[in-house]
Amino acid sequence: MAKMKSLACRECGKEYPTKDIHVCELCFGPLEVKYDYDEIKASISREKIEAGPKSLWRYIDLLPVEGQPTVGKYAGLTPLVRAHNLGAYLGIDELYIKNDCVNHPTLSFKDRVVAIALTRARELGFETVACASTGNLANSVAAHASSAGMKCYVFIPGDLEAAKVLGNLIYRPNVIEIEGTYDDVNRLCSEIAGERRWAFVNINVRPYYAEGSKTLAFETAEQLGWRAPDQVVVPMASGSLLTKIWKGLKEFEKLGLIDQVTTKVNGAQAEGCSPIATAYKNGRDFFKPVKPDTIAKSLAIGNPADGYYALKTVAESHGAMDSVTDDEVVEGIKLLAQTEGIFAETAGGVTIGVLRKLAKQGLIKKHDVTVAYITGNGLKTQEAVIDSVGRPIRIQPSLSHFTKKFELEEPA
């Protein structure tokens, strides 16, 4: 028996075969992978997982692939860092950083979802992969396609910064700069996905791609000694990551791998692009799209596909949402770096900024076991902090200058 039962519409429930489709033909609702949990329960165990590969593929029983992994074999199983210093600063006794800054191979959590998407794309017979992206996703798709020997097309807006373009070109995919607005890129890619037999990772293979995010929850629970945290803080772009972390914890609970899940799921956005957090603050169950204007580019999704489901998840788990200004994002990046030695990209600054707010408001309490998700590496967004970290201290190459500069005493 296959562990994947079907793709099911999240709105009307209509089921489809597990092919490269992503929208319900009936109501146009998004499709999600449905599993046979009885089948999975018969074979999964903590011991089996612990004996598995040292990557996200140790959770293969709960991932939407039919065979063995063929792409992204080393993704995942990133450190869960006990953040003593940051915890002391924020007044949280047991704080952890789930550090996807060091994910393999492109230093962001996208390596998880792309590993699953491309492995599944190969199973479905695709030879070409594609994505529309301004950063981390493109890097990951291009790198994985390169190692898998798949053809790759990356679509980017024409005004993207040179460093981000380079981060794609190094892997030699076809990088297509589109002349036009962000909306033009959006529309064109959607149309190409409908025309070509290509695996567009966040369009026609999105139901499989999105499941990769669950592995963050699986790893968290295992690394905590097979328990769910009391609180998690998750950055939100489309909102998918937050919903999948919740789904992952609930799957472990359903399968008896952890006890009852009472985790509060909290969402973090930058104020310059906070359609979901704003809806939450206003007590609405729907969001209004916005034009993004924030340094947190990897979260700058103005019309988030999973925004409604993120609101639902936070309500169901009794969590909260908040947003931070760009200045607070920079402060968050620096705080994490200076307390825990972790240099996060701007999305990480958003997470830390909101973690700080929630702790200050008493929504995260001193004794809550708390996990903050850091999803990308700061070396990718250096421009965000370059003007706020000071300059090196310049001295003459002499011991006396050095001693004088730092007002040190002469050694005895």
Partner 1 sequence: MAKLRFHIRYPEDKIPDPILYQIGQEFKVITSIRRADVRETTGWLDVEFTGEVDEIDQAISGLRDKGCVVDPIELNIVE
CB-based contact 334:389 (threshold 8 Å): yes
293 near partner 1, rule: CB under 8 A: no
Span of 22-30, 66-74, 117-125, 368-376 interacting with partner 1 by CB under 8 A: 22-30
Binding to partner 1 by residue 189, rule CB under 8 A?
Answer: yes
Token reading at 148: 């898998």
Q: Which two tokens stand for residue 359?
A: 């702790």
- Judge whether 304 and 310 are in contact, CB under 8 Å: yes
Residue 27 CA: distances (Å) to CA of 35, 204, 307: 22, 16, 18
Least Å distance between CB 238 and partner 1? 7
Nearer residue to partner 1 within complex by CB, 86 or 131: 131
Cα torsion angle, 101, 102, 105, 109, sign = negative
What is the nearest approach in angstroms of partner 1 to the Cβ of residue 155? 8
- In the complex, minimum distance from the CB of residue 195 to partner 1, in angstroms, rounded to a whole number: 10
The reply on whether position 28 binds partner 1 by CB under 8 A is yes
What token pair was written down for 406? 């730092």
Q: Using the minimum distance from each CB to partner 1, give the nearer residue, 28 or 402.
A: 28
CB of 129 to partner 1, least distance (A): 14
- In the complex with partner 1, which residue's Cβ is closer, 246 or 287? 287
CB of 82 to partner 1, least distance (A): 31
Using the minimum distance from each CB to partner 1, give the nearer residue, 300 or 335.
Answer: 300
Window 86 to 105, contacts with partner 1 (CB under 8 A): none
Task: Mark out the alpha helices in 196-291 (DSSP H runs).
Answer: 206-211, 214-223, 240-254, 275-281
State whether residue 328 is helix, strand or coil: helix
Q: Which stretch binds partner 1 (CB under 8 A): 257-265, 284-292, 311-319, 321-329?
A: 284-292
CA–CA dist 47, 136 (Å, integer): 34
Q: Which of 21, 40, 305, 363 binds partner 1 (CB under 8 A)?
A: 305
The residues pairing with 371 across neighbouring beta strands, listed in sequence order, are 96, 232
Q: What burial letters (b/e) apply to 270-299, b meaning 16+ CB within 10 Å?
A: bbbbbbbbbbbeeeeeebeebebebbbbbb
DSSP 334-359: HHHHHHH---B-HHHHHHHHHHHHHH
Per CB under 8 A, the segment of 97-105, 116-124, 257-265, 281-289 that binds partner 1 is: 281-289
CA 209 to CA 228: how far, in whole Å? 23
Interface with partner 1, residue 203, by CB under 8 A: yes
Our finding on whether 303 is near partner 1 (CB under 8 A) is yes
Please, what is the end-to-end C-alpha distance for the chain in angstroms? Answer: 77
Are the CB atoms for 234 and 242 separated by under 8 Å?
A: yes
Q: Is 302 in the site for partner 1 (CB under 8 A)?
A: yes
Choices 80-88, 182-190, 255-263, 379-387 (CB under 8 A): range interacting with partner 1: 182-190
Total residues at interface with partner 1 (CB under 8 A): 40
Contact (CB, 8 A) for 96 and 83: yes
Binding flag, residue 137, partner 1 (CB under 8 A): yes
Name which position in 29, 79, 105, 180 contacts partner 1 (CB under 8 A). Answer: 29
Element (H, E) at 114: helix 110-123
- Minimum CB–partner distance for residue 302 and partner 1 (Å): 7
Residues 214-243, interacting with partner 1 (CB under 8 A): 237-238
- Counting contacts by CB under 8 A, is residue 270 touching partner 1? no
Interface with partner 1 includes 11 (CB under 8 A)? Answer: yes
390: left (phi over 0), alpha (psi -120 to 50) or beta: left
Binding site for partner 1 (CB under 8 A): 11, 22-23, 26-29, 131-134, 136-137, 155, 157, 182-183, 185-187, 189-191, 193-194, 200, 202-203, 206, 237-238, 286, 288-289, 298, 301-305
